[in-house]
Amino acid sequence: MKQYQADIVVVAAGPAGLAAAVQAAENGARVIVCEKTAMTGGAANMGMGPLGIGTRYQRQEGKEITLEKAFNMFMEYTHYNVDARLVRRYFAQSADTLDWLEGMGVEFEGAFRYFPQSEATWHIVKTDKGIGPRAAAVMNKALYNRAVELGVHFLLKTPVQKILKEGPKVCGVLATDRDGEAVQIDCKAAIICTGGAGGNKQMILEETGYRHGEDLFSFAIPGLVGDGLRMAWEAGADHMPVRMEGAASVEGCEGLSASVSSVFYQPNLLVNWLGERVMNEEQASNSTFLHNVVSHQKDKICFSVLDRSIVEHYEKDGVDVRSLVRPNPDVSDFCDNMEKAREQGNTKLYQADSLRELAEKMGIDPERFEQTVTAYNGYCETGDTEFFKDKRFLLPIWKAPFYAARIRPSGYGTVGGIRINENCEACGPDFYPIPGLYAAGADACNIYDDSYMFLLPGNSMGFAINSGRIAGMSAAEYVSGKGLSKEE
């Protein structure tokens, strides 16, 4: 068995682990990071940037949101079902964290809204390729470089399996290295940040009730299987609810042009199995809301419906809702791709020459569906007295061919599971900290209650980096002998 010594072992090198390692090393601790894969950055390499509240970008761009406003908004959204002290500390630190990252050479494009109803809290990382997915990989690289500069030692391809304790205190971790050899690292503190269980079908079923691959399609990166949750619970941490960070997906688009999903993600008419309309579709840009609406329907399915005239409008004028993730997608090959789907016998995407035929293909009640479309077309003329959708997005459905797609719940991964306090100390069922055990990021993100808070975008990466920093500060203080944790 290989043996190492450190003050602190950081379990995993996603943004939470990287931030924890840098902060702990800056505060004087000797740190080893064990990462399961060959890469650092975790799921955040796919994302674009973290949340900031009260930042200079918001002030400069006239989009300011104060700590007081964000805090109250957040606590009301979660019905005060979450730890107000932790939320406050995270939000209060978030602007300083952007400065801290800038000190490592990270630059930001500014403060952005994810969708029109959200606040401009999403701070997108600047890259040499402009705004787009994977921008946050640049931030992760800067965190990694800073950690190396501070003398943090990285053991890649070294998954941690167990937290070791001597009495009530953490005294080490057990891992397996890239050669399959057992590794023991003696340490005074461990910070768990393994990113949740978004790739673990069994855990998702047990914890959330969703059947991953059947009624939920998580797009979490591989390898996020709840290792940290299991290790923390085994070490005595309280088992908090594990939730999906929900989103929604268009089913059946594999092998087709991105224009198909881009068109069906627009605020088109949304109906359920009964052929009934389900929401103000304008709100569907908030993927948390769409996830919840779809999850509440029979078989967790909704249908996005449109006609040839709407496709023509998107082709000519561009799509109605544009985001920074899908800035202005080219949808000119939508009809060709729907034709391709039909030829391939795709059973999730539908087109027909009449509304009745479309309903039969979708397997929904044709009469009710026709009534719903008639009522919806009426709202397009006189205003939506049912769900109050803005007139800009009310487009009548009348011109064949008609198109529909199935919308299903999906998710970025799981959030929550390990009880922590505002110092990111992992706590037992008695709410007292376990000496030397800390958790951060998705594993410990219990702050959304049942639904991800997308009205303040950048929230999950923001929580990961800020909770990582807090855990790094707390653990460094603990190992220096001035710790916050109570000794038994």
Ligand X SMILES: Cc1cc2nc3c(=O)[nH]c(=O)nc-3n(C[C@H](O)[C@H](O)[C@H](O)COP(=O)(O)OP(=O)(O)OC[C@H]3O[C@@H](n4cnc5c(N)ncnc54)[C@H](O)[C@@H]3O)c2cc1C
- Minimum distance from residue 202 beta carbon to ligand X (Å): 16
> Is 195 or 246 the residue whose CB approaches ligand X more closely?
195
Stretch that binds ligand X, among 32-40, 78-86, 254-262, 430-438 (CB under 6 A): 32-40
Q: Which of 10, 21, 142, 160 binds ligand X (CB under 6 A)?
A: 160
Q: Which of 10, 11, 302, 426 binds ligand X (CB under 6 A)?
A: 11
Task: Judge whether 135 and 14 are in contact, CB under 8 Å.
Answer: no
Token readout for 409 is 């719940």
Residue whose tokens read 């729907």: 338
Least Cβ distance, residue 281 to ligand X (angstroms): 23
Which residue has tokens 């791709």?
337
Report how far Cα 346 is from the mean position of its chain's Cα atoms: 29
Size (the chain), residues: 488
**Number of residues in contact with ligand X, rule: CB under 6 A?**
37
Residue 461 as a binder of ligand X (CB under 6 A): the answer is yes
Amino acid at 308: R
CB of 162 to ligand X, least distance (A): 10
Stretch that binds ligand X, among 30-38, 95-103, 254-262, 379-387 (CB under 6 A): 30-38
The yes or no reply on residue 460 touching ligand X (CB under 6 A) is yes
- Between β-strands 269-271 and 169-176, what pairing exists: parallel, antiparallel or unpaired? unpaired
The CB density around residue 325, as the number of other CB atoms within 10 Å, is: 11
Q: How far apart are the first and last CA of the chain?
A: 31
Buried-state track 156-188, b at ≥16 Cβ within 10 A, e below 16: eebbbeebbbeebbbbbbbbbbeeeeebbbebb
Shortest Cβ 360–ligand X spacing (Å): 36
CB closer to ligand X out of 157 and 308: 157
Q: Could you say whether residue 417 binds ligand X (CB under 6 A)?
A: no
- Select from 54, 246, 462, 483 the one that contacts ligand X (CB under 6 A): 462
- Tell me whether residue 416 or residue 458 sits nearer to ligand X (CB atom): 458
Q: What count of other Cβ atoms lies within 10 Å of the Cβ of residue 257?
A: 18
- Cα distances (angstroms) measured from residue 50 to each of 195, 288, 419: 16, 17, 23
Which CB sits closer to ligand X, 351 or 474? 474
Q: What are phi and psi of 277, to 5 degrees?
A: -70, 145
Three-state DSSP class for 315?
helix
Comparison of 39 and 150: residue with beta carbon closer to ligand X? 39
Minimum CB distance to ligand X, residue 461 (Å)? 3
* 138 in contact with ligand X (CB under 6 A): no
Which residues in 172-201 contact ligand X (CB under 6 A)?
A: 193-195
- Alpha helices of 103-226 — where are they, by DSSP H? 136-149, 201-208
Q: Provide the Cα torsion 452, 453, 458, 464; round to 10°.
A: -60
Q: Does 441 bind ligand X (CB under 6 A)?
A: yes
Listed ranges 5-13, 102-110, 146-154, 448-456: which one lies at the site for ligand X (CB under 6 A): 5-13
Q: Which is nearer to ligand X, 159 or 436 (CB)?
A: 159
| Of the residues 9, 25, 50, 407, which one makes contact with ligand X according to CB under 6 A | 50
Among 304-312, 343-351, 456-464, 477-485, which window interacts with ligand X (CB under 6 A)?
456-464
Q: Which of 8, 21, 29, 44 binds ligand X (CB under 6 A)?
A: 44
Regarding 442 and contact with ligand X (CB under 6 A), the answer is yes
3-state secondary structure of 51: strand
Query: Which of the 8 DSSP states describes residue 480?
Result: I
Query: Should residue 34 be labelled a site residue for ligand X when binding is judged by CB under 6 A?
Result: yes
Q: Judged by CB under 6 A, does residue 22 bind ligand X?
A: no
- Classified as helix, coil or strand, 242 is coil
Query: Can you state the percent helix, strand and coil of the chain, rounding each to 5?
Result: 35, 20, 40
Handedness of CA 146, 154, 150, 196 (dihedral sign): positive
Contact call for residue 273 and ligand X (CB under 6 A): no
One residue of 22, 23, 47, 111 binding ligand X per CB under 6 A: 47
What letters, b where the CB count within 10 A reaches 16 and e where it falls short, cover 86-109?
A: bbbbbbebbbebbebbeebebebb
Q: Does 223 bind ligand X (CB under 6 A)?
A: yes
Distances (CA, A) of 291 to 107, 177, 288, 477: 32, 39, 5, 41
Q: Which of 23, 29, 32, 42 forms a contact with ligand X (CB under 6 A)?
A: 42
Q: Is 35 in the site for ligand X (CB under 6 A)?
A: yes
Query: What is the contact surface with ligand X in residues (CB under 6 A)?
Result: 11-17, 34-37, 42-44, 46-50, 159-160, 193-195, 219, 223-224, 227, 412, 441-442, 458-462, 464
